[in-house]
Amino acid sequence: MNSLATFMDWLKTSQKTVVLTGAGMSTESGIPDFRSSSGWWKNIDPHTVATVTALENKYDLFHEFYSMRLTGLEQCQPHDGHYILADWEKRGFIHSIATQNVDGFHTKAGNKHVQELHGSIQTFRCHQCNESSTKEAFIQKETCQECGGVLRPNVVLFGEALPEESWTITLKNIQQADLVIVIGTSLEVYPVNQLPTMTKGKTVYINKDANPNAAYFDLIIEGKAKETLQHMQTLL
Ligand SMILES: [Zn+2]
């Protein structure tokens, strides 16, 4: 059997399948992979802007960066690959998705069981007292109504811990899975890159490029997320 046929066989027979998605899932919606594309915005390395240090010491720059990302996101929509994963959940082929993406597109496409491991850029809070806020208030650069602190999106910044509940649920799902499908992640971001090693189930890596970090996967399928999922959908 070729690797695609093997994959389809595993997908159809697995009792519990977990999908883990990264930036490569969103690039086909037009969302740039800012973690890996340094220098695309004002010649500033995003690793220096998406940080607590920037939030606390260079708020203007931090605010401009996330306002730009939010404006960019308004032009983007989930693509066919997102909708195929929603269809697979509905039909019982997959049970949950854990994602490194903050765009909320898996939920928007219709998946019900989604863990956002790096948070969400669609919801906001006060950095100081955690009071929830709104996108409008953030864009308008308002301060917290409770304490006067600065507002921020609910994304996990470099140097911050992952949301504990999402991590715990994901870990449990992965440990119980008999198939883990990883789509469009470079496997470079700790600790999410550890997740595929924590299952006793089979592991499949789908990515547009070969990746030396993926050598331990049971199966590797090279291809872009959307077109690979579209092809798989015709075989299901
Ligand atoms: Zn506050």
pLDDT digits (tens, 9 = 90+) for 32-65: 776 655 445 666 777 789 999 999 999 999 999 9
Fold of 32-75+121-155: SIR2/SIRT2 'Small Domain' (3.30.1600)
Give 118's pLDDT tier (boundaries 50, 70, 90): very high
**pTM, entire model:** 0.92
Binding residue per annotation — 147?
Answer: yes
pLDDT at 206: 96
Q: According to the model, what pLDDT value does residue 40 have?
A: 59
Catalytic residues: 118
Angle of helix 3-13 versus helix 225-235 axis, rounded to 10: 70
Distance 151 CA to ligand 1 centre (A): 8
Cα distance between residue 47 and residue 194, in whole Å:
21
Distance 150 CA to ligand 1 centre (A): 7
Domain locations in the chain as residue ranges: 1-29+78-118+162-236, 32-75+121-155
Least reliable range by pLDDT among 7-11, 39-43, 145-149: 39-43
Q: Is 76 annotated as a binding residue?
A: no
Please name the residue ranges forming H helices in the chain: 3-13, 23-26, 52-57, 59-74, 80-90, 105-109, 135-139, 164-176, 225-235
Cα 33 to middle of ligand 1, angstroms = 30
Half-sphere exposure of 191 (CA within 13 A, CB side): 13
What's the confidence (pLDDT) of residue 189? 82
In this structure, CATH architecture of domain 1-29+78-118+162-236: 3-Layer(aba) Sandwich (3.40)
pLDDT tens sequence across 165-221: 999 999 999 999 999 999 999 888 888 899 999 999 999 999 998 888 899 999 999
